[in-house]
A and B are shown apart, each in its own frame.
Chain A
Amino acid sequence: MARQPEPARSDLSSPSAVLSAADVTRVVDRMAHQLIEKCAGAGDDAAGGLADLVLVGIPTRGAPLARRLAARVEAFAGSPVDVGAVDITLYRDDLRMRGVRALEETLLPEGGIDGRLVVLVDDVLYSGRSVRAALDALRDLGRPRAVQLAVLVDRGHRELPIRADYVGKNLPTSRNQSVRVRLAEVDGVDEVVVTEGEQ
């Protein structure tokens, strides 16, 4: 699945960008195909296991990412996919260190998540603490059949035993770099940028 080595990369908006808008689109497409492939094996009807699937984004950027993934899965597999969002702010373990922040939307599909396959969607996987908070939140929201994780970028440096099931791009980084995913819905542009220095 490796992207072709980039010769000129004139499409990148800045020197620190590692994924351009076109790259982001391609990566999301590939993740959608992987989701279909994995879920299709699980179900027995024509739609495969997709009727079972709920893509749940972690705000801020996981939420639009989940909507995009769902749209691509629908485009490729022809069956609609439920989407949701779970705000994890009230479940974070670093509120006392970093202070309160504004909450974002929590929205689950009509029928809830009981007995379904929940795929958490986030932009960057780093320490794993956001995912842990999301797992805690899910536990209060219902009892999924299984929970998986999809991330656009995995930058390493896990602090918890958590791994992703679908990874858009593995990006080896050092701890003093910062990885920014920008999405058109939130930032007006699609790109992934690595900069030196803590964010």
Chain B
Amino acid sequence: MKRHLLEAADLDRADATLVLDTAAQIDQALAGREVKKLPTLRGRTVVNLFYEDSTRTRISFELAAKRLSADVLNFSAKGSSVSKGESLKDTALTLEAMGSDAIVVRHSASGAPHRLANWVRGSVVNAGDGTHEHPTQALLDAYTIRHRLGRLEGVRVAVVGDVLHSRVARSNVRLLHTLGAEVTLVAPPTLLPVGVGSWPAEVSYDLDVVLPKADVVMMLRVQAERMNASYFPSAREYSRRYGLDARRMGALGDEAIVMHPGPMNRGMEIAAEVADSVRSTIVEQVGNGVSVRMAVLYLLLGGAPS
């Protein structure tokens, strides 16, 4: 494995499989235990450096690090020296001077973790940067698919919604391709990025055509905070053409599952009865996130400091 996890492309097939296998073993080792803690990263310090709001990712990383007995520092830009104008670099160097071994970073600017990785000696884990990548989300999605369907090779995954702004979609397309799954992107033309033709994925504009063939439907959040250029005429129209409701769910195969990275807009991209159905893995994904992030932290930090 590389020292940092900045994007899904940092993982080749062997590395990605190692992360998923490690997560599965951790899951199994901790199942039903009263003491859900392992001593592996005792004495290591992990900093969660969050420049953007987050609930599940930050808590998930915090819990993962704590379950491995690392010390965790949570840093959020609000209420810190960032509001006094401190730069990313100075903040990072400050944290490193205090002895952090790994920095988990979320930033609204695409590429911020890459810059950070050049400045610090410890490991950097990208927890979402702008509209670029969110590799641990892709890992936990792949883990969830493998857990539910028993395989990834040849699994047909439909990624539906705002691909243009979605770091989850970017990381998933890359990682799922690495692991042998077949990805189809479904979105209105305005919400597909330029150059999507070069991605290792099919593209479709019609959800109803794709659904019957899909093993996995991954719904993306409509990111209201980024909907500033009339990408679609109205929320109602978007929901009618690209939302997953009970009727559309009926078109899915028997084994097919429905995923969503959260947070959901119920009634917009996904109907409440779909989100709460047995096909939905949404709650499972959150739980799996902790195991997968434990695996990533173990594999990046557990060994000898290079």
Contact = CB atoms under 8 A, between A and B. Distances in A.
Interface of A: 87, 90-91, 95-100, 102-107, 112, 136, 140-142
Contact of B22 (A103, A106, A112, A141): A103
A141 B30 CA distance: 9
Report, nearest first, the 4 A-B pairs whose CB atoms are least far apart: A99-B303, A103-B25, A106-B29, A100-B303
Contacts, number: 53
B26 interface: yes
A140 B35 contact: yes
Contacts of B37: 140
Contacts of A106: 25, 28-29
A95 B302 contact: yes
A91 B40 contact: yes
A96 B305 contact: yes
Contacts of A91: 38-40
Given A90-B39, A140-B38, 11 more contacts: A87-B29, A90-B298, A90-B302, A91-B38, A95-B302, A95-B303, A96-B305, A98-B303, A98-B304, A99-B303, A103-B25
A105 B21 CA distance: 10
B25 A95 contact: no
Interface residues of B, number: 22
B35 A105 contact: no
Nearest to A142: B34
Nearest to B40: A90
Interface of B: 18, 21-22, 25-26, 28-29, 32-35, 37-40, 68, 298-299, 302-305
B46 to A, nearest CB: 16
- For A102, A140, A142, the residue with the greatest tally of chain B CB atoms inside 10 Å of its CB is A140
- For B18, B32, B302, B305, the residue with the greatest tally of chain A CB atoms inside 10 Å of its CB is B302
Q: Is the interface of B mostly helix, strand, loop or mixed?
A: loop
Given A95-B302, A96-B304, A140-B37, A107 B28 contact: yes
Contact of A90 (B18, B33, B38): B38
Contacts of B303: 95-96, 98-100
B304 to A, nearest CB: 5
B303 to A, nearest CB: 4
B27 to A, nearest CB: 10
A174 to B, nearest CB: 27
Given A87-B25, A98-B304, A106-B25, A136 B39 contact: yes
Given A90-B298, A105-B25, A99 B304 contact: yes
A105 B303 CA distance: 20
B102 to A, nearest CB: 14
A95 to B, nearest CB: 5
Contacts of A141: 33, 35
Contacts of B305: 96
A103 B304 contact: no
Given A140-B33, A140-B37, A100 B298 contact: yes
Contact of B40 (A95, A99, A112): A95
A97 B21 contact: no
B302 A100 contact: yes
